[in-house]
A and B are shown apart, each in its own frame.
Chain A
Amino acid sequence: MTRRITRLDRGGRLIDRARDITFCFDGRRIPAHPGDTLASALLGAGHVLQGRSFKYHRPRGPVAAGAEEPNALVTLGGRARMEPDLRTTTTEAFDGAEARSQNRWPGLGLDLLAINDRLSAFMPAGFYYKTFMAGRSWEKLFEPIIRRSAGLGPAPTEADPDSYEQAYAFADVIIVGGGVAGLAAALEHGRAGARVWVLEQTPHWGGRAVVDAEADGATIDGLAPEAWVKAALAELEALPNVTLRTRMLAAGLHDHAHLIALESVADTTPGADLPRQRLWRMRAGKVIVAAGALERPLSFPGNDRPGVMLASAVRDYIVNWAVSPGKRIVILTNNDDAYRTALVALDAGIAIPAILDLRKTPNGPLVQAVRDRGVRILPGHSIAKVLGSKQVKGIALCRHESRGEAWLERIPCDAVAMSGGWSPTVHLWSHCGGKLAWDTEAAFFAPDPDKPPLGADGKAMAQCVGAAAGALRLDACLASAMSAAPQVETPAEEPIQPVWVTPAEAGPHLRAKMWLDFQNDVKVSDIQLAAREGYQSVEHAKRYTTLGMATDQGKLSNINGLAILSQALDQPIPATGTTTFRPPYTPIGFGAIAGEARGEIFQPLRRTAMDAWHEDQGAHWEPVGQWRRPYCYPGKAEPHSAAIEREVLAVRNSVGMLDASTLGKIIVKGPDAGRFLDMIYTNMMSTLAVGKCRYGLMCSENGFLMDDGVVARLSEDTWLCHTTTGGAEAIHAHMEDWLQCEWWDWKVWTANVTEAYAQVAVAGPNARKVLEALGGVDVSREALPHMSWTAGPLGGFDARIYRISFSGELGFEIAVPTSQGMALWSRLLEAGKAFDIRPYGTEALHVLRAEKGFIMIGDETDGTVIPQDLGLNWALSKKKADFLGKRAHQRSFMASPDRWKLVGLESLDGSVIPECAIAPAPGENANRQRNTQGRITSSYYSPTLKRGIAMGLVHNGPDRMGEEIIFNADGKEVTARIVSPVFYDPKGEKLDV
C-alpha cells in the first residue's frame, strides 16, 4: 500500500496539535491528536483504505466525514468490549483504542474474498433471492459460503462489562442540531423563556457554516461564523432555561413528540467508573429539526475507489483536521458548492488539476473566484473511468453528454471530490409522519411545512429549520430559524443541474461500475435491472436490490437510487417517492437499549416471607411469574430426582409442607359479588355457602380455559378467589375489565391481596395431627370437612384454614398475615418433627397432582383447550343463563364430540414418556405433514406407583380406554395404553378422612 503522510502543516481547527495520542488499526500504531476521528487520523497517516464492501469485497476508503459514512466501518475494542460496525468518521480517536477492519480475509490489503468482485457479473440484484429460491440443496451449498463472505463486523460473544444509563427529560422545545440554524433557534426560544434542549451529535458546535466560511468568507452580523457561534453559545450557556449537549444523537422521533437520544458519556475512556452511554427518552412540546443536509455522491464509473470522496468531506478533513485525501484533487460537480472545496484546498497548498462541471456554463461568484486562481474548469465534462484500484491514480476525462467511451485525456490525481447536490436531513421529520415535497429547482425532497407530524393536540409537533428545511444558503438558513435574523454576507450561487448518471449516455458496462449504495454494493445497473424485472415500487426495489439497507440506511444512496428508478420507469421523481425513514438515525448498541435491565435486575424478583429459609435449605429455585419458588430441596450431593421422590413419598406416607404463598388471592365483595362471580366462573359461585370452598374454572369470552382455583365464601357478601401463581395480576385485571367496562352498575369491589397473606399447605395422612399439635381451632373431620374453611387461633396465630387438597391427601392450607409467615412455617416444622414432616417443592406438587389426575393451567391448557376437553363438564353450570365462555361453547366445533380429550397414558414398559411426544396417525394433512392423534401434556416418574405416568390430549381419548397407541419423540417410539387420568386413589378415600 502506498503510504504518504498527508497531515497538513497548518490548520485543523478541531485538533490539539500540542498533544499526541496513538491507537491501533489492524495492529499498526496510528499517531493522532485529541480531536481526531479515527478516519481523520488514518487519512493523516496515509491509510485511505479503511474497509471492504459487503458483497464484492471491493477496497473502500471513507467517502464522507460524518454519520452518513457507508464504507469505513471498523470493530472497536477487544473481547467483551468489542463493538462492530462503528464508522471511523464519527468515532473519536483516543489513546490506546484498538480498531480492526472488517469483512476481509486474511487482511484488509490482501482480501482473497475480493474474488467476489470478479464474479460480480454473476451476482446482480436479487442474487440472494434467486439463489435461495432455487431449492434446498442450493441453500445448503451456498449459505455457508455466503455467510462467510458477505457481511459486516462480528457480534461480540462475551457479556458487555460496561454500564449504560437511561434518563428522562421534558422540554418545551428540543432542537436537534448544533449548527448555526440550531443555535439561532435556541436563541429565539431560549430568550423567550422556553425550556430548551439543544442536541448536537458531534463533539463540536457550529456545523457546516464554520467550515464553509473558510472558503467563502461569509459573515453573520459582521462576524466570522466561528465567532458568532462562540457568542451564541456564551449567551445560551448563561440562560438557566437552556440545556446544551454535545455527543448526543437524536435517534428517533416518535408519537406525540417522544424523542429518543443517545448520549456518549465515556466512549473514549473504557473502564472509567462512568456509564458508557446514556439513552434519553425525551418528551417535547415541539421538536425543531436543524439537522442540516447530506451531500449526494455522483454516479460515475469507478466512483467507489478509495480516494473518491464527497466534496464537503474533503473540505471538512482539510479545515477541521488538517488532513487531505490527496495532494492532487480532481473535482466533479453539478453545483457551485463544490468550488468551496477547491478554495480551501488551494489555500492548503493542494493542487486542483481540474474541475469537471457537468453544467454547460457555470459562472457564479464562487466559480469565478476559483477561475481567478488559475484552476482549469472544464464545463460539460465528466469522468469515464477512475484509474487505480486501492487508491485513485488518475481519471479518464470524457464529455458528460457522451457514452463515455472516448477518453479525451488522462488527468493524474490521487483523489476525486464529487458533489451531486444536497439533500435535507429529513429523517426525524419523516419518522413520525411528516410529509416531503420534491423541489424541482433545488433537486431535493424537503419537508412539506403544510404536512407536519402532529402532536396530541392536532398541531405540528416538529418543525425543520436551516438546511434541514431546504434553506441551504447561509442567509436563508438563519432566516428560517429566527424571527429577527442576523445580517448575513454570503456569495450568490447559480442553480444546480440535477445529474443522476454521468456520462449521460453510458452503456451497461459503465453503469455496472457506478455505485449507488457503497455499503451494499448496489449499482446503477442493479436498480435498472430491478425495474426491468418488475420491481416498480420503491419499497420493493429496495428489498430486491438491498439499496439503502444496513448500517447507513441509504443516507447517501436513497435519493440517487430513486432518481435512477424513476428514470427507468420513465416517471417523475415524486411519483416514485421515497422509502420509509425509520428510526434510529444511526445505529444504537443493544447495551444502551437494555440500560440497567440486565442480570439480576432484568425484572423484579418477588420473594415470599419464607424465602430466606428456603435459601438456607439449599432450595433449587424455579421462576414462576416474577416469584421464585423452591423446585425441590436437594440434600448434599442428592440428585433432584431423588429429592423429588423423597418429598412425594413424605406427603403420601406421613406429612409434607409447601410454601403456597404465591397463589393468587383476590377478594370480591359487594351486594352483586355473587352475581358477578357467576359470570366470571363457569360454575355457580353465588350458591356457595358461607364457610365452604369450591373449585372453579374461568374461561375467556372465546370459551378457552384461562385459570382455575379454589373459591371460599368468607361472608354473605365476600368471596376469596384463589388463582394460579402466574395468573393473579392478569385475573384481577380481567375482573376489573368486566366490572368497569361491561357491568359498571353492579356493586362489586375487587382487591388483589396476594401479597398480604403467607400461606402454607400441610398435606399427608398426618396433616391433621400436626395442626392439632399446634393447638387452637377445631380441625376435626366433623368441624372442618373437605372443601370448607374456618378461622381462628392456631398455635397462637390469627389464621384462616382451608381444608383443600391439590395432592389427593388430607390437606390444609393455612393463611396468616405475611409478617407472620416465617413464624408459622417454623412452628409447623417444629410441630411436625414427630411425624418427620418434610418441606416439598413445586415439582413434588406437580407429581402429586398428576398422580391424582388434577390438571395444571399451562400444562393441560395452552389457550386452545376448553373445559370439556379436560373432562370438566361437571364444573360448567347448566343452571346459569350466562357466563363468560358459555356462548362460545355452543359453537359447532366446540360442542362437537370429535375433539382431542384428556386421558391418562401408561407406557407399556413403565418408562417416562418424553413431554414433547406426539402420537402420529396414518396419512398426511393438507400441508403434507404427518397426521397426529394426540400429544402429551404432563409426564412424570411416579414415586408412588414406581413407574412413568402421563396425561395427554388424544383424539376421542375417553372413548378409547385400554387402546394402545404409539408416541413419537425425537425419533424414538413409546407404546402407551390409554387409561383414566386418575392414577392414585380414584375413589377419593384418602381425602375424606
Chain B
Amino acid sequence: MLRLTCPHCGVTAEETELTPGGEAHLRRAGPDATDAEFESYLFARKNPKGVVFERWRHAHGCGKWFIAARHSVSWQVFGTYPAQTTEPPADLIETIRAAIPTWEGWQ
C-alpha cells in the first residue's frame, strides 16, 4: 500500500485514503478529433516500466486531485503536485533525471 503526500493539504496519506485516476496529462480529444486521436485519448496508455505520472484524489481527505510521479517497479516516489497543470513542474523533471539519467522523459 503506497503512501503519497497530498500537495494541497500536506497530509501524507495511506493509499486507502486516495482514489486512483489513471495516467495523468492526457490531452482531451473533443468532437473535432479523428477516430485515431479519440481512440488514443480514450484507450491508449503508456504504462511504462519506469516513471509513471498518475492522477490521485485525496478522496477521504481534502478532496483535491493531484499527480504523483513514481517508479512503477521500485515504488520510489519522485514527487507530487497539484493536478491543475498540463505538464510536470520543471524541478521535478530535474529530480527524476538526476535519479534516472537514462529516463526517456514524461512525453
Contacts and interface: CB of A to CB of B under 8 A. Distances in A.
Interface of A: 254-256, 258, 283, 432-433, 454-458, 701-702, 733, 736-737, 740-742, 744, 881-882, 886-888, 890-891
Interface string B27-47: 011110101001000100000
B59 A733 contact: yes
A975 to B, nearest CB: 41
Interface string B8-31: 000000110001010000001111
A753 to B, nearest CB: 15
Interface residues of B, number: 32
Given A456-B75, A458-B74, A881-B31, A254 B1 contact: yes
A458 B99 contact: yes
B31 A890 contact: yes
Contacts of B38: 887-888, 891
A890 B42 CA distance: 14
Nearest to B12: A456
B73 A887 contact: no
Interface in B46-62: 55, 57, 59
Contact of B33 (A432, A433, A887): A887
Nearest to B19: A733
B65 A740 contact: yes
B65 A256 contact: no
A255 B75 contact: yes
B57 A733 contact: yes
A740 B31 contact: no
B68 to A, nearest CB: 10
13 contacts: A256-B2, A433-B75, A454-B71, A454-B74, A456-B2, A456-B4, A456-B75, A457-B76, A740-B64, A740-B84, A741-B83, A742-B28, A886-B30
B63 interface: yes
A457 B63 CA distance: 25
Contacts of A740: 64-65, 83-84
Chain A CB within 10 A, most for which of B38, B71, B74: B74
Contacts, number: 75
Contacts of A890: 31
B73 A433 contact: yes
Contacts of A741: 21, 55, 65, 83-84
Nearest to B75: A255
B93 interface: no
A172 to B, nearest CB: 15
8 closest pairs, A vs B, by CB? A458-B76, A744-B84, A456-B77, A740-B65, A454-B74, A258-B1, A741-B83, A256-B3
Given A741-B55, A887-B31, A454 B76 contact: yes
Interface of B: 1-4, 14-15, 19, 21, 28-31, 33, 35, 38, 42, 55, 57, 59, 63-65, 70-71, 73-77, 83-84, 99
A683 to B, nearest CB: 16
Contacts of A737: 21, 57, 65
A886 B31 contact: yes
A882 B31 contact: yes
A168 to B, nearest CB: 9
A461 to B, nearest CB: 9
Given A454-B76, A455-B76, 17 more contacts: A256-B2, A256-B75, A432-B75, A433-B73, A433-B74, A456-B70, A458-B71, A458-B74, A702-B42, A733-B59, A736-B63, A736-B65, A737-B57, A744-B83, A882-B31, A887-B29, A891-B38
A747 to B, nearest CB: 13
B39 to A, nearest CB: 9
A888 B75 CA distance: 35
B74 A256 contact: no
Contacts of A882: 30-31
Contacts of B64: 740
A256 B13 CA distance: 12
A741 B29 CA distance: 14
B75 A887 contact: no
Contacts of B14: 283
A886 B70 CA distance: 34
A702 B83 CA distance: 22
B62 to A, nearest CB: 11
Chain B CB within 10 A, most for which of A254, A256, A283, A890: A256
A742 B29 CA distance: 12
Contacts of A888: 38, 42
Contacts of A891: 35, 38
A283 B3 contact: yes
Nearest to B77: A456
A433 B74 CA distance: 7
B78 to A, nearest CB: 8
Contact of A701 (B42, B55, B70, B83): B42
A605 B22 CA distance: 30
A259 B6 CA distance: 22
Nearest to B99: A458
Nearest to A451: B74
Contacts of A881: 31
A455 B83 CA distance: 24
A53 B14 CA distance: 42
B74 A255 contact: no
B3 A456 contact: yes
Contacts of A744: 83-84
A256 B1 contact: yes
A454 B75 contact: yes
Chain B CB within 10 A, most for which of A283, A432, A740: A740
A888 B57 CA distance: 26
A886 B42 CA distance: 13
